[in-house]
Amino acid sequence: MPATAASTGGPAGAVARGRAVSGSQDVPAAKQSEWARTRLAAIEEIYRPSAQGRAWMESYDFRQMVGQPAWFGSTGFDGYSGAGQAIPRIIIHELSHSMWGAFPIAGRPDLSGRRGPDGVLDVVAAYRQDLAAFLRQAPDRYEPLRDRFRNMPNLVRGDYPDLYHFGEADLIEMTGADLDLVPPILRKYVQSFYGPAGLGGRDFKDWPDALGWWNGLSADDRRIAGELFGLPHFPLERWSSLRSPSGAGLPPQLTRVYQREEQQRLIDFASQLDLVKERESGAADATGINRGFEFWRGYLNEMRDLHKRYPGVLRATGAREAQAIAEALDFYISIEGLDATTQVDRYRVSISTPYVTDFPFLLKSRALVELFAQGQDAQADPGTLELVGGYARRLSRIVRLADSVLVASATGPQAGAARLEAVFGELSDAEVKSELGILLDILRESDRAATASAMRGMSDAAVGRLLELRPEIARSGEIPPARLLAAAGVTRTATRADLITGIRRLVGSSSGNFAIDRPHNLAIYALLNERSAADPDAVLEVFAETGLPVAEWIKEYPGPAGVLFARSPINGARTLVRASTLRHPLPYLVRSLTLADPKVAARVLVELGRLELAAVEAPVAGGGLDRVPVGPIVPRALNVMAFDAYWLSLGAGPPVDIGASAALLSNLARLEGVAWLEGHLREAIVITVFETDSGQVDPGSYVNLIASLRMVANALPATDPAYAVILRLTAP
């Protein structure tokens, strides 16, 4: 992490050119810059921390990283953190990184913020273990948060760093700083910071209340709320029916605070632009990675949009530079809806206007092609310093490469594909990661159909390199799923070994976004479904060896899945054990099979109960894997139904089929006997009572489990052997 420093400056004035800001960790709170104090005051108004939390923020060394708008980072509770922009969600992210070790952990006096041999704080190591335990718990009212964690980038392929990173730094944002939304097993880590109410003083009673509020927000309120409360990143399809009985809306003061921070971003942009232009490190983040074109272009677009939203802010500062920047942004706003040729004409007329030549990234891509591909450099001022001047030269190259693809595509799709592949080959791996996105944006905006055709027509090797380096682009839609599968060797005629290798490669090159990956997973499932009848063992081996989510296949193809697992329940059980992950724990997989075919699920669950399931792999603090107890699988699988009655009454949540649960218990009793079923159901209840009393799970778990079991009993005939078992165990 770069040891950068920044200058001080008030919230509405130009920033001095010095480099010092808050200083070292022992600088008292009074030495925080005015900018830093104002940002922390905004955080207090938004997230309403406790008195202890406020005192810590006011004493912590939080810095403004002047001239580095891409910078944000933390060196820990005994160091400092900083941000380059007044963005509350980024600031609370870095403060969250910094507070580990700063507060006592309720009930854990042994956790003091010591670093282990791997450099990880003891409190962080403990939190990671409890976070993994939370993901393995049965569904409850914290399921929306669990769904968010399950869909963390790269968790699908068994990589845990993203889960750790965002789990440690985004819990406050994910829960709106409302302690009632934090699961009991994690609450002890943050309760010292959380106040009595969360987001802007709004006090949610539980997740359905919070999601009902979110669903009822207006578009304007949701834009702001989504910047402060991490719900835009939650998979909320199962919760869309919820509505808040008390109405929805942002507290007015929350809107005012956020709008003030947006305006501050504009002021900072104007006061620091000349400084940012002096050094390309202005686009580097805390890890030293230069975010390049994609950051700079996005940054300028954000500033244009903010100026459009608050047109009087820059002029109100009275600063000459701010006035000139406002005029330049006004120019780009005025030509935003014009065609590319007209934009070019207007641009050439306005090149003498200050700052216009600093913002050519705001032109349409086709306009950039017309400028740069004709041998021009957007009339950049020869005196423009490293950042903008360097980008202008690099952008000129990218635009010319894009134009060469467009020219080739005009002669035919094969020529376009060949030229795009040649251009792709000219780019280093680093350039593919930092600049390919801009190149493809230029192509798409110029001729979307030709771009898609060229991408589809590249060789398997080129498509494979794209999948490895930029999986989110490879999966963005221009390359159809079938084409991507073929490039990875996943075809109908592939050998079993090639099939496993190819699918493992696809799973390992996840975009990190479950929604983007889904069409490609569906294509794999369709192919596996075709092979399941002729080569069922190969299909089971794929799920056991590749990390491809078996639960989603079962959901998409319940009939074939039932046939496949019925063929050999013991092999099916072993496959589920090997396919279980933190994202899809073993009880969750049993539930998926129950919804597809409860009779087969009962046979597989019996076999699971006979296996030696002493432990499963789970993440540990340093990022590796360890063996942790899995617990008795049959009771854990039965506990998954604990909140079924609740979900049905709520009209939202995970899929529920009371008839399938009844059939599962009935078949278990027929297969193994009444005593066997009663013993495992009793153990499920005992586990729930223990975990509820010890504060590990939703406090309503026991009550809801009993209610769900009674609902299952009502779905059974009185003569069914499972019926009497349930009545005995749920009697008052």
How confident is the model over 65-82, as pLDDT tens digits?
Answer: 888 887 778 888 889 999
Say if 271 falls within a structural domain: no
- Work out the mean pLDDT of the chain and round it to a whole number: 87
Instruction: Report pLDDT digits (tens) over 467-492.
Output: 999 999 999 989 999 999 999 999 99
The total number of structural domains in the chain stands at: 2
Are 218 and 326 found together in one domain? no
Residue 1 lies in a domain: no
**Last-in-domain residue among 396, 416, 441:** 441
Q: Which of 61, 89, 91 is nearest to 75 (CA)?
A: 61
Does the structure show a pLDDT above 90 at 304? yes
- Do 205 and 236 touch, CB atoms closer than 8 A? no
More confident residue, 399 or 475: 475
Residues 168, 247 within the same domain: yes
* pLDDT for res 415: 97
Of 216, 205, 171, whose CA–CA distance to 190 is shortest?
171
Q: How far apart are CA 287 and CA 72, in angstroms?
A: 9
Mean pLDDT, residues 1-20: 27
Of the residues 419, 441, 463, which one is the last residue of a structural domain? 441
Taking the C-alpha atoms of residue 554 and residue 633, their distance in angstroms, rounded to an integer, is 20
Q: Quick count: other Cβ atoms within 10 Å of Cβ 41?
A: 14
**Domain stops at, among 441, 457, 475:** 441
Whether the per-residue pLDDT at 624 is higher than 70: the answer is no
Asked whether residue 321 falls in the same domain as residue 217, the answer is: no
Q: Reply yes or no on whether the pLDDT at 385 is more than 60.
A: no
Q: What is this structure's pTM?
A: 0.88
Residue at token pair 């399809």: 237
| Range in 33-42, 235-244, 452-461, 621-630 with the lowest mean pLDDT | 621-630
Residue 611 lies in a domain: no
226/360 same-domain check: no
602 falls within a domain: no
Lowest mean pLDDT of 298-307, 417-426, 428-437, name the range: 428-437
Same domain, 206 and 162: yes
Report pLDDT for 157. 62
CB 562 within 8 A of CB 568: no
Where does residue 203 rank: exposed (0-12), middle (13-18), buried (19+ CB within 10 A)? Answer: middle
Position 69 scores a pLDDT of 85
- For 69-92, b/e burial (b = at least 16 CB within 10 A) is bbbbbbbbbeebbbbbbbbbebbb
Length of the chain: 732
Instruction: Indicate if 82 and 187 belong to the same structural domain.
Output: yes
Banded model confidence at residue 700, pLDDT cuts 50, 70, 90:
very high
What are the Cα distances from residue 279, in Å, to 19, 69, 668?
14, 12, 69
* Residue 328 domain flag: yes
Could you tell me the pLDDT band of residue 279, with boundaries at 50, 70 and 90?
Answer: low
pLDDT-derived band at 358 (thresholds 50, 70, 90) equals confident
Contact 479, 116 (CB under 8 A): no
Query: 112 and 203 share a domain?
Result: yes
Q: State whether 221 and 316 are in the same domain.
A: no
Give me the percent of the chain exceeding a pLDDT of 70: 87
Q: Residue 500 pLDDT more than 50?
A: yes
At a CB cut-off of 8 Å and minimum separation 6, what does 548 contact? 503, 507, 521, 524, 542
Kindly state the helix (H) or strand (E) to which residue 250 belongs, with its residue range: none
264 closest CA partner among 69, 29, 97? 69
- What phi, psi does 652 have (nearest 5°)? -160, 170
Looking at residue 391, its pLDDT comes to 65
DSSP 352-400: TSTTGGG-GGGS-HHHHHHHHTTT--TT--TT--HHHHHHHHHHHHHHH
Residues 238 and 356 in one domain: no
**Residue 136: C-alpha distances to residues 340, 617, 634, 706, 720 (Å):** 53, 12, 14, 21, 31
Taking each helix axis from N to C terminus, what angle separates 292-309 and 429-446, rounded to the nearest 10 degrees? Answer: 50
398 to 4, 286, 371, 446, 476: CA distances (angstroms): 31, 26, 12, 14, 20
Residue-range definition of the domain harbouring residue 320: 291-441
- State the Cα–Cα distance between residues 439 and 431, nearest whole angstrom: 10
* Residue 381: predicted pLDDT: 42
Q: Which amino acid is at 504?
A: R
What band does 722 get if pLDDT is binned at 50, 70 and 90? very high
Residue with the bigger pLDDT between 284 and 408: it is: 408
**pLDDT above 70 for 378:** no
Query: Which ranges of 246-319 does DSSP label H, i.e. alpha helix?
Result: 252-277, 292-309, 313-316
Q: Does residue 283 surpass a pLDDT of 60? A: no
- One domain for residues 223 and 331: no
Query: At which residue do the structure tokens 């380059």 appear?
Result: 84
**Do 321 and 248 lie in a common domain?**
no
Instruction: Give the pLDDT confidence of 163-205 residue by residue, as tens digits.
Output: 899 999 999 999 999 999 999 999 999 999 999 999 999 999 9
pLDDT at 319: 93
Residue 688 · residue 703 · CB < 8 Å = no
Asked whether the predicted pLDDT for residue 533 surpasses 70, the reply is yes
- Please indicate, yes or no, whether residues 37 and 170 belong to a single structural domain of this protein: yes
Q: What is the pLDDT of residues 592-614, one digit of tens each?
A: 999 999 999 999 999 999 986 64
**Residue 675 included in any domain:** no
- On whether residue 3 sits in a domain, the answer given is no
Q: Does the pLDDT value for residue 572 go beyond 90?
A: yes
Decide: 509 and 501 in contact? Cβ < 8 Å: no
Task: Establish if 414 belongs to a structural domain.
Answer: yes
Summarised one tens digit per residue, pLDDT across range 117-166 is 988 999 999 999 999 999 999 999 999 999 999 988 777 666 788 889 99
Closest CA to 224 of 71, 48, 46, 93: 46
Instruction: State the angle between helix axes of 122-136 and 161-169 in degrees (0 to 180), rounded to the nearest 10.
Output: 110
